[in-house]
Amino acid sequence: MKNKIIEIILNKGNEFISGEELSKQLGISRAGVWKHIKTLKEEGYNIESVNKKGYRLAEKPVDLLTHQNICHDLNTKFIGRNIIHFQTIDSTNDYAKKIANEKEDGTVIISEEQTKGKGRLGRQWHSKSHDGIWMSIILKPDIMPYKAPFITLIAGASIVKALNNLGVKTLIKWPNDIILNNKKISGILTELSAEIERVNHIVLGMGINVKTMEFSQEICDIATSLYKEGYKVSRVDIVRNILDEFERLYIDYVKNNSKEETLKICRQYSAIIGKDIYILNGDNKEQVKCLDINEDGNLIVEKQDKTIREIMSGEVSIRGIKGYV
């Protein structure tokens, strides 16, 4: 019910809607309307109540990552049409995996805070309340499991495209980091549930540092946020843009078997193509020159002995010669 109320208020824009009108439209008492308005205010919506006029949003809705705020202007067919929003949760990826079987393709889980946010290779992902975008998308593509890793590249391409649409010039550090001013602002964690011949579901986790101003000592040299770099962008606008961009590239891949646009974006916005980089694999560290991303989405590198090698995502980590990139 409160979701319906905020939707009506959002649609009214700057105009007031009376308590009486709301109670008529929704078939509940005025006291019931007031109770829901109170809850919405507690959730962070800045709703103004004026005697004899009614209710309206006092300012642009706060940047809460709720279904109503995101879906208000969303252009997708199925990605993000169902959004489950939490104030806090252990990990959106873990929750998405638990509910994946019973939820529809494209369901998005977002939390304002994660208490056990997970990064790649068993690392921790710092996810403080309201500081960033911590979200997971449940996907049920009809593809063979070996085709799943490419979806990480689609996610990277859509984050970079979305941020560039909003005026933030970011790059992709293949395969799953997004870079701003040589530091990481976003990472992707793709988890697959599959049988030998078919994918059951994929949970695509995205973490984006938006408002974080301080990072712990272990990561402060390699991590940053949009606000820290001077970009005050709304989290709702970012999520909406990502979902729009992601759906387009995802449908191209899983329905039309086309990787063209994703590869184009990954190459055009690459932070490492043409550069000398280190490939880290366990305790091994090898300097190579990064040449390209091939049709399979794998990295093509030239070794010191001039031989060419193809690297699959998930196999290794990449570092720049001078720093993180």
- Give the type of residue at 84: I
Binding mask 75-104 for ligand BTN (x = CB under 6 A): ----------------xxx-----------
CA-nearest of 303, 240, 254 to 276 is 303
Tell whether residue 224 is a contact of ligand BTN (CB under 6 A).
Answer: no
Sign of CA dihedral 233, 235, 236, 240: positive
Site for ligand BTN contains 123 (CB under 6 A): yes
Span interacting with ligand BTN, options 15-23, 77-85, 187-195, 315-323, rule CB under 6 A: 187-195
127: left (phi > 0), else alpha (psi -120 to 50), else beta? beta
- Residues 88/30, Cβ–Cβ less than 8 Å: no
Residue 192 contacts ligand BTN per CB under 6 A: no
Yes or no: say if 133 and 69 are a contact pair by the CB < 8 Å rule.
Answer: no
Joined tokens for residue 272: 């490492």
Give the residue with the Cβ less far from ligand BTN, 40 or 96: 96
Q: Residue 189: enclosing H or E segment and its boundaries? A: strand 183-194
Size of the site for ligand BTN (CB under 6 A): 22
Distance of closest approach, residue 134 Cβ to ligand BTN, in angstroms: 4
CA-to-CA distance for 318 and 299, rounded, in angstroms? 11
Does residue 155 touch ligand BTN according to CB under 6 A?
no
Q: Residue 244 CB, nearest distance to ligand BTN (Å)?
A: 19
Q: Does 119 help bind ligand BTN (rule: CB under 6 A)?
A: yes
Q: Which one of 2, 35, 81, 120 is in contact with ligand BTN (CB under 6 A)?
A: 120
Nearer to ligand BTN, 191 or 302 (CB): 191
Helix-, strand-, coil-residue percentages of the chain, each rounded to 5 = 30, 25, 40
Q: Does 210 bind ligand BTN (CB under 6 A)?
A: no
3-state SS assignment for residue 272: coil
Residues 36, 85, 97, 118: which binds ligand BTN (CB under 6 A)? 118
3-state class (DSSP) for residue 89: strand
Query: How many Å is the Cα radius of gyration of the chain?
Result: 22
Which one of residues 137, 188, 249, 279 is an interface residue with ligand BTN (CB under 6 A)? 188
Nearer to ligand BTN, 36 or 173 (CB): 173
Shortest Cβ 191–ligand BTN spacing (Å): 9
156 binds ligand BTN (CB under 6 A): no
Q: Which of 125, 246, 253, 324 binds ligand BTN (CB under 6 A)?
A: 125
| Whole-number Å distance between alpha carbons of 325 and 318 | 8
> Under the criterion CB under 6 A, does residue 117 sit at the interface with ligand BTN?
yes
Among the residue ranges 75-83, 130-138, 253-261, 309-317, the one whose residues contact ligand BTN (CB under 6 A): 130-138
C-alpha–C-alpha distance, residues 223 and 208, integer Å: 11
Task: Return the SS3 of 133.
Answer: strand
Separation between Cα atoms, residue 119 and residue 242, nearest integer Å: 20
Among 66, 76, 136, 270, binds ligand BTN (CB under 6 A): 136
Rounded to 5 degrees, what are φ and ψ at 72?
Answer: -50, -40
Between residues 120 and 309, which has the closer beta carbon with respect to ligand BTN?
A: 120
207 makes contact with ligand BTN (CB under 6 A): yes
Provide the binding-site residues for ligand BTN, judged by CB under 6 A: 91-93, 114, 117-120, 123, 125, 127, 134-136, 176-177, 187-189, 205-207
